[in-house]
Amino acid sequence: MSTLQQQVESVRNAHGVPALGALVLSSTRVLEVALAGRRRADDETPVREEDRFHIGSCTKAMTATLIARLVDAGKLRWNQTIGETFPALKPEIHEAYHAVTLEQLLLHRGGIAEDRNPDPLLMLRLRALEGDMRSQRRQALVAVLQREPAASPGSQMLYSNFGYMIAGTMAEQATGESWETLMRRWGFNPLKMRHVGFGAPGKPARKPDQPRGHLGQCRTPVEPGPLADNPPVLGPAGTIHCALRDWARFAQLHLQIAQGKRTALLKPETARRLHEDPYKQGYSMGWGTVSRSWAKGQVLMHAGSNTMWYALAVLAPALDRGWLIVTNCGSDAAQQACEQLLHELAHP
Alpha-carbon distance of 191 to 105, in angstroms, equals: 25
Residues of the chain short of pLDDT 50, as ranges, are: none
Which residue among 150, 181, 212 closes a domain? 181
Provide Rg for the chain, Cα atoms. 19
Q: What is the pLDDT of residue 320?
A: 98
Total tally of structural domains belonging to the chain: 2
CATH number at residue 301: 3.40.710.10
Q: Which domain holds residue 22?
A: 3-58+182-346
User: Domain boundary at 160, 181, 202, which?
Assistant: 181
Is 86 in the same domain as 222?
no
Residue that finishes a domain, picked among 148, 181, 214: 181
Measured CA to CA, the distance from residue 236 to residue 57 in angstroms comes to: 9
Pair (205, 286) in one structural domain: yes
CB atoms within 10 A of CB 311: 31
Confidence at residue 1, expressed as pLDDT on a 0 to 100 scale: 65
Tell me: do 311 and 199 sit in the same domain. yes
pLDDT of residue 88: 97
Nearest by Cα to 116 from 60, 57, 58: 57
Q: Supply the pLDDT for residue 204.
A: 86
The answer to whether residues 27 and 86 belong to one domain is no
Entry pTM: 0.97
Backbone angles phi, psi at 57, to 5 degrees: -70, -5
CA distance linking residue 333 with residue 224, whole number of Å: 22
